[in-house]
């Protein structure tokens, strides 16, 4: 794709998108009969799992005086506020106010806490955070990884980056930082030109199936083991997902990298990987997890350093084909918001297949 040399200037960061499912915590971290506090998109939320394993998510603020409910206790059925003992069930309805005298006319179940739809899939608990249209009934399907078969192994890593949501997401889809941020894996001395084809998909775009780059580490020996060909497909999906599926014969690995706003300058990064194959490799899960943590740690350091510059509020530039995915991301966000406001179908910024070329 031919691009002009005149840069596109970007200076404003936009708010996170609502009306989507967002990852909350790995399923395994919330035991039956327990609760857990978290912050997502600026919302204080408390997650609960009752004795039967059912989930509830509610605003982590007691409507009485604003005390976080997560400072109280959960008996497996109700959350009790630590300040005045108000109790709320799994649907957010107030069931007991200890200070009320017997026969008081107030119906406690008319008092409630905001709740959020919660579901589990692919080892994660997801929350639906509604936009101005409110909660859809039923809500849209929870995002699922494209798993070709039952996975044999998996792991999950969460880290917190010092960055805005937009900068975190652009980091997920940026194709040119590898030789400099991850030089141990792909050195600057091995930079060469790459050609990739992209196509539009609902709420996102796809780098169509291709063979990994020649300087992408030891991936190519998988072809010798599993008979190839080795192909990789990478999707970006609003609001915050980079999904990759690598396949080679019977072997496959699916991964999902997501950035979720915690606060204005804090972003939680969630990486999940599930795969089938290489089960015979000693300590394979540990090795894969350690390599991934190293990658994510290097990105975290880059974002931390970037934040030092961005505190001076500079304008930033998009130049050449390597920056086209970032431009599409901003245009997709704007198109989604316009679609919500007007009720019209999303006007996708990518109208057809395009080929991009860059060096990395």
From 179, 232, 225, 184, select the one nearest 206 (Cα to Cα): 232
* Domain-embedded: residue 265: yes
Q: Quick one: 186 and 229 in the same domain?
A: yes
Helices (H), the chain: 165-173, 178-181, 221-226, 284-310, 324-342
pLDDT for 6? 38
76 and 187 assigned to the same domain: no
pLDDT value at residue 81: 97
CATH at residue 215? 3.90.380.10
Q: Strand pairing partners for 234?
A: 207, 244
The per-residue pLDDT for 132 is 77
pLDDT computed for residue 283 by the predictor: 84
Last residue of a domain, one of 83, 113, 129: 129
* 198 and 290 together in one domain: yes
pLDDT 10s per residue in the chain (360 long)?
A: 443 433 444 434 568 899 999 999 999 999 999 999 999 999 999 999 999 999 999 999 999 999 999 999 999 999 999 999 999 999 999 999 999 988 788 888 889 999 999 999 999 999 999 987 777 768 889 999 989 999 999 999 999 999 999 999 999 899 998 888 887 666 556 788 889 999 999 999 999 988 766 555 566 677 667 777 888 999 999 999 999 999 988 889 999 999 999 988 899 999 999 999 887 787 889 999 999 999 999 999 999 999 999 889 888 888 999 999 999 999 999 999 999 999 999 999 999 999 999 988
Q: Is residue 209 part of a domain?
A: yes
Q: Which own/partner pairs from 9-13 qualify as long-range (CB within 8 Å, at least 24 positions apart)?
A: 9/315, 9/316, 9/317, 10/315, 10/316, 10/317, 10/318, 10/330, 11/313, 11/314, 11/315, 11/316, 13/164, 13/165, 13/166, 13/167
Statement to judge: residues 304 and 171 lie in one domain = yes
In-domain check, residue 145: no
pLDDT of 14: 67
Q: Are residues 309 and 210 in the same domain?
A: yes
Do residues 253 and 110 both lie within one domain? no
Q: Is residue 140 in a domain?
A: no
Do 176 and 290 belong to one domain?
A: yes
The answer as to whether 312 is a domain residue is yes
Structural domain includes residue 5: no
One domain, residues 192 and 315: yes
Its pTM stands at 0.88
Place of tokens 């409110």: 134
What pLDDT is recorded for position 282?
Answer: 78
- Which residues form the domain of 267? 153-359
Count how many residues are written for the chain.
360
Q: Which two tokens stand for residue 305?
A: 């350093």
- Angle at alpha carbon of residue 97, lines to 95 and 102, rounded to 5°: 105
186 part of a folded domain: yes
The pLDDT of residue 213:
62
Look at residue 210 in the predicted model and tell me its pLDDT.
81
Whether residue 66 is found in the same domain as residue 116:
yes
In a domain, 172, yes or no: yes
33 and 82 assigned to the same domain: yes
The total of structural domains in the chain comes to 2
* 207 and 322, same domain (yes or no): yes
**71 and 179 assigned to the same domain:** no
pLDDT of residue 280: 77
Please state, in angstroms and rounded to a whole number, the distance separating the CA atoms of residues 249 and 302. 36
Question: What CATH number does the domain containing 91 carry?
Answer: 2.102.10.10
Nearest to 60 by CA among 38, 86, 42: 38
Domain boundary among 97, 129, 161: 129
The answer to whether 333 touches 321, Cβ cutoff 8 Å, is no
Task: Provide the pLDDT for residue 125.
Answer: 97
């Amino acid at each position: 794709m031919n691009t002009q040399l005149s840069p596109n200037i970007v200076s404003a960061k936009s708010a996170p998108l609502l009306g989507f499912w967002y990852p909350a915590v790995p399923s395994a971290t919330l035991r039956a009969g327990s609760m857990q506090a978290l912050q997502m998109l600026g919302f204080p939320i408390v997650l609960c799992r009752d004795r039967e394993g059912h989930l509830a998510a509610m605003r982590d603020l007691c409507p009485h005086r604003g005390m976080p409910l997560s400072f109280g206790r959960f008996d497996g059925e109700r959350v009790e506020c630590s300040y005045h003992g108000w109790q709320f069930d799994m649907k957010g309805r107030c069931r007991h106010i200890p200070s009320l005298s017997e026969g008081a006319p107030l119906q406690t179940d008319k008092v409630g806490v905001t709740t959020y739809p919660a579901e589990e899939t692919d080892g994660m608990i997801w929350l639906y955070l509604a936009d101005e249209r409110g909660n859809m009934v039923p809500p849209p399907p929870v995002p699922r990884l494209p798993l070709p078969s039952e996975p044999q192994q998996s792991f999950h890593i969460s880290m917190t980056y010092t960055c805005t949501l937009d900068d975190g997401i652009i980091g997920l889809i940026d194709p040119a930082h590898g030789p400099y941020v991850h030089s141990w894996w792909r050195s600057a001395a091995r930079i060469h030109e790459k050609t990739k084809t992209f196509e539009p998909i609902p709420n996102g775009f796809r780098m169509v199936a291709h063979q990994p780059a020649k300087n992408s580490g030891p991936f190519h020996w998988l072809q010798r083991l599993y008979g190839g060909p080795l192909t990789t497909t990478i999707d970006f999906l609003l609001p915050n997902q980079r999904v990759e599926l690598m396949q080679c014969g019977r072997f496959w690995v699916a991964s999902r990298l997501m950035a979720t706003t915690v606060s204005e300058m804090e972003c939680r990064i969630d990486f999940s990987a599930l795969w089938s194959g290489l089960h015979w490799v000693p300590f394979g899960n540990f090795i894969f997890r350690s390599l991934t943590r190293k990658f994510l740690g290097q990105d975290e350091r880059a974002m931390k350093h970037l934040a030092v510059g961005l505190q001076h509020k500079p304008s930033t530039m998009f130049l050449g084909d390597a920056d086209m995915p970032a431009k599409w991301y901003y245009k997709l966000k704007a198109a989604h918001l316009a679609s919500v406001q007007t009720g019209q179908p999303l006007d996708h910024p990518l109208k057809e297949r395009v080929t991009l070329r860059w060096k990395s």
